Amino acid sequence: MSRKLRILQVGCGGRAQSHIAAMLASDVVELVALCELDPARLAATGDKFAIATRYTDMATAIAQTKPDLVDIVTPPHIRLSIVQAAIDAGAPAILIEKPIALSPSECRALTALGENRLIAVNTQYQWMPHWQQIWDMLRAGALGQVRAIRASTGVNILEQGPHILDLALTAAALSDLPDPQWVMANCDGVEYFATTPVPADTSAVIGMGYARLWFNAGASAPLVPDESVIWYQQQVEIIGARGRIWVSLNQGWTAWIDGVFSQGATGWPHDDELAQGALFAHLQRVLVGNENWQMFPTRIQVAARNQGVMFACYASAISGKRVEIQPDWDDAIVPGIVRA
């Protein structure tokens, strides 16, 4: 068997706790050390999980532990500088959280940093067991020609949009649909990541050849039946010539294909724990085994494509027009959304 994946954990905040728990529960990961600027938080997390090797300086941690992967769980407004510093210190591969960036230029910079190494994004939902089952259905052509996808989340586009678009666009790719080509969107209200504005509510139509993706993030999103938690107001529906598949984060999934009905359970946080562990197992096969890292499903190039769709929503809302998706959006669209 291949050896375990050696991981250095950078950041010991709330989200990092679930990463650490998944690593320790996995039989394919060796968590070599923790790194955190705040000594109190570092001590608390190290004591909680019985991790003895601890650092407050990332460059020293990378040099001394020589990890296969640096898992960086930090806020998005400081992500680019930390990823650059990790690479400068010799990190061979990196895992980051979503959203990957708060501006188009940051998105392009991260993509460039991932040209010669794997920078993976922790949009882990696609490793949930029910989504793995659905990916198999789509690969087998169970829905026939896919004509439409509906995807929504009850919170803003940068908060949970990366997860929902990752699922929707993975479904599109497995259904042989082209990459998104254009967006027509409206936005309402403003929220913030630190001081960076983000639309509070977004409704968009996204063109993918003959098919369309209808995407909502915020108050305009349709409600998941029987769901009372705003963070769980997430659903994706894939509609094809032979039937459709509906998937929620916490209220189950249902498929109607060729007149046959099937369904299954979904549940948070259980599914997330399984997904996080499965993501680390996939990274182990790539970074320790012999799988091609350039095909990793949430590599930075794919995440940046998805983020470009989100920035296209900004541009369409500001201009009041349908816009073609492009890789070089100007950073001015970010503060510009305040006036949309």
Percentage of residues in the chain with pLDDT exceeding 90?
Answer: 97
What is the average per-residue pLDDT within 14-43? 96
Same domain for 83 and 133: no
Residue 24 lies in a domain: yes
Identify whether the C-beta of residue 187 lies closer than 8 Å to the C-beta of residue 201: yes
Same domain for 189 and 313: yes
Does the pLDDT value for residue 148 go beyond 60? yes
Same domain for 135 and 120: no
The predicted structure's pLDDT at residue 340: 63
What is the average per-residue pLDDT within 241-262? 97
What is the average per-residue pLDDT within 44-61? 98
- Domain total for the chain? 2
CA torsion 172-197-97-57 (nearest 10°) is: 160
Residue 289 lies in a domain: yes
The predicted structure's pLDDT at residue 2: 77
Same domain for 200 and 145: yes
Same domain for 226 and 109: no
CB atoms within 10 A of CB 50: 7
Residue 334 lies in a domain: no
Residue 140 lies in a domain: yes
Nearest-angstrom CA–CA distance, 221 and 200: 11
List 186's β-bridge partners, or say none: 203
Nearest-angstrom CA–CA distance, 175 and 9: 36
Same domain for 173 and 132: yes
Model confidence band, residue 339 (pLDDT cutoffs 50, 70, 90): confident
Residue 149 lies in a domain: yes
CA atoms within 13 A on the CB side of 49: 23
CATH number where 294 lies: 3.40.50.720
Query: C-alpha distances in angstroms, 283 versus 58, 66, 70, 119?
Result: 21, 16, 12, 11
What is the average per-residue pLDDT within 235-255? 98
Same domain for 258 and 176: yes
Residue 338 lies in a domain: no
Residue 329 lies in a domain: no
Nearest-angstrom CA–CA distance, 33 and 23: 12
Among residues 220, 259, 218, 222, the alpha carbon closest in space to that of 237 is found at: 222
The predicted structure's pLDDT at residue 1: 54
CATH number where 137 lies: 3.30.360.10
CA angle 208, 213, 219 (to 5 degrees): 150
148 three-class SS: strand
Same domain for 313 and 180: yes
Same domain for 153 and 59: no
Residue 333 lies in a domain: no
Same domain for 254 and 134: yes
DSSP 158: T
What residues make up the domain containing 81? Answer: 5-124+273-299
Question: Given the structure tokens 């007149």, which residue do they identify?
Answer: 259
What is the average per-residue pLDDT within 27-53? 97
Same domain for 106 and 17: yes
Same domain for 215 and 279: no
What is the average per-residue pLDDT within 294-310? 97
> Using omega within 30 degrees of 0 as the cis cutoff, is the peptide bond preceding 129 cis?
no
Which of 18-22, 191-195, 217-221 has the lowest average pLDDT?
Answer: 191-195
Identify whether the C-beta of residue 51 lies closer than 8 Å to the C-beta of residue 30: no
